[in-house]
């Protein structure tokens, strides 16, 4: 990803989460009071246009026409990962690592996160911008949060984390949201290898992945062509995917046991139907939750 565009994906995803602030409280999938505050000034100004219901409806309608279900996917995956994090915190955690954190706010809005160390990893430009915004909002980067600049394709994740204070052998939850499609298969394997070998017993990872058919074109809706072309132009091409039918075996061979693999039907049953929320979800990205099954601490 080019340095000029390396913050775009993180900012864009955070901006999507801001949309929930304009949803009636009784139908919200999650509450994120920091999503808007942490964004750069220009994005905050733009997103305040959503206060105007008529304009908001027009913008969201246009987005659905161009990328049907993409908004629902991001909002539902956020809720699922939030719920997974809360469950893991309730069961006891020593530390959390957020890979490709972007402008993720879980370290500040999820109760209990301020009691453990949180390591946020992303590209250097994104980290620099987020550091500036955290200092503006909180006065300083909170003590329980460490931000680490890193390129998954070219840098050593384990070395960077350990230099930043990550403790091997502790019970850890790794969150990896909206990242794997942008990096090489080798980088994915290296990250998962670190998860398995460096974290403690009962550690786990929740991550999103794109089905392989969308990457190789064998199962890709027509509207995705323009989106993928745009992603490539800004330096974020989709290059890695996993066949959902093979996700269990994929993780097993890497020392992880799959506990959950969720998509459209799961999101509808878990979240949207109970809230009487009519929101289209695109099954072009799934979320998996797995635990470390081969603990080999080094």
Q: What is the DSSP string of 13-77?
A: HHHHHHGGGGS-GGG-S---TTTTTTS-HHHHHHHGGGGSHHHHHHHHHHHHHHSTTHHHHHHHH
pLDDT of residue 5: 47
**Which range (46-60, 68-82, 156-170) has the least confidence?**
46-60
Phi, psi dihedral angles at 190 (to 5 degrees)? -65, -40
pLDDT of residue 7: 58
Q: Where are the domains of the chain?
A: 8-292
Residue 235 pLDDT class (50, 70, 90 cuts): confident
pTM higher than 0.85, yes or no? yes
Kindly tell me if the per-residue pLDDT of 174 is higher than 90: yes
Kindly tell me if the per-residue pLDDT of 273 is higher than 90: yes
pLDDT of residue 47: 80
- Look at residue 289 and give its three-state secondary structure: strand
Percentage of residues in the chain having pLDDT higher than 70: 95
Kindly tell me if the per-residue pLDDT of 112 is higher than 50: yes
Percentage of residues in the chain having pLDDT higher than 90: 72
How many other CB atoms are there within 10 angstroms of residue 72's CB atom? 22
Rounded to 5 degrees, what angle do the CA atoms 82, 119, 151 make? Answer: 105
Kindly tell me if the per-residue pLDDT of 94 is higher than 90: yes
Average model confidence (pLDDT) across the chain: 91
Q: Which residue has the higher pLDDT, 30 or 49?
A: 30
- Look at residue 275 and give its three-state secondary structure: coil
Name every residue whose Cβ is closer than 8 Å to that of residue 150 and which is 6 or more positions away in sequence.
121, 122, 123, 124, 157, 160
Phi, psi dihedral angles at 83 (to 5 degrees)? -65, -40
CB contact at 8 A, 118 and 98: yes
The burial class, CB within 10 Å (0-12 / 13-18 / 19+), for 254 is middle
Q: Which residue has the higher pLDDT, 98 or 41?
A: 98
- Are β-strands 204-209 and 145-149 bridged in parallel, bridged antiparallel, or unpaired? unpaired
Q: In what order do the strands lie in the sheet with 117-122?
A: 145-149, 117-122, 95-99, 172-176, 204-209, 286-292, 256-262
Kindly tell me if the per-residue pLDDT of 2 is higher than 70: no
pLDDT of residue 276: 94
Domain 8-292, CATH homologous superfamily name and number: Vaccinia Virus protein VP39 (3.40.50.150)
Length, in residues, of the chain: 298
Kindly tell me if the per-residue pLDDT of 68 is higher than 70: yes
CA dist 36 to 39, 100, 113, 276, Å?
6, 19, 20, 26
């Amino acid at each position: 990803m080019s340095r000029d565009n390396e913050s775009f994906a993180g900012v864009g995803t955070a901006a999507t989460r801001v949309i929930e602030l304009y949803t009636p409280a009784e139908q919200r999938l999650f509450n994120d009071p920091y999503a808007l505050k942490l964004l750069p000034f220009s994005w905050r100004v733009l997103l305040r246009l959503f206060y105007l219901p008529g304009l908001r409806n027009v913008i969201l309608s246009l987005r659905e026409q161009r990328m049907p279900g993409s908004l629902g996917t991001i909002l539902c995956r956020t809720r699922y990962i939030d719920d997974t994090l809360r469950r893991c915190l309730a069961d006891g955690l020593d530390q959390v690592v957020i890979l490709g954190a972007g402008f993720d706010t879980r370290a500040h809005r999820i109760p209990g996160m301020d009691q453990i160390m949180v390591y946020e990893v992303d590209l250097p430009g994104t980290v620099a911008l987020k550091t500036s915004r955290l200092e503006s909002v909180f006065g300083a980067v909170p003590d329980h949060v460490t931000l680490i600049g890193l390129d998954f394709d070219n840098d050593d994740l384990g070395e960077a984390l350990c230099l930043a204070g990550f403790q091997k052998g502790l019970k850890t939850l790794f969150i990896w949201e909206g990242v794997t499609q942008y990096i090489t298969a080798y980088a994915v394997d290296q990250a998962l290898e670190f998860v398995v070998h460096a974290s403690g017993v009962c550690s786990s990872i929740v991550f999103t992945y794109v089905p392989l058919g969308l990457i190789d074109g064998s199962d890709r809706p027509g509207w995705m062509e323009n989106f993928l072309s745009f992603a490539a132009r800004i330096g974020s091409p989709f290059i890695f995917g996993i066949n959902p039918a093979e996700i269990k075996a994929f993780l097993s061979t890497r020392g992880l046991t799959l506990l959950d693999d969720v998509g459209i039907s799961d999101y509808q049953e878990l979240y949207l139907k109970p809230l009487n929320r009519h929101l289209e979800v695109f099954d072009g990205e799934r979320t998996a939750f797995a635990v470390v099954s081969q603990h080999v601490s080094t």
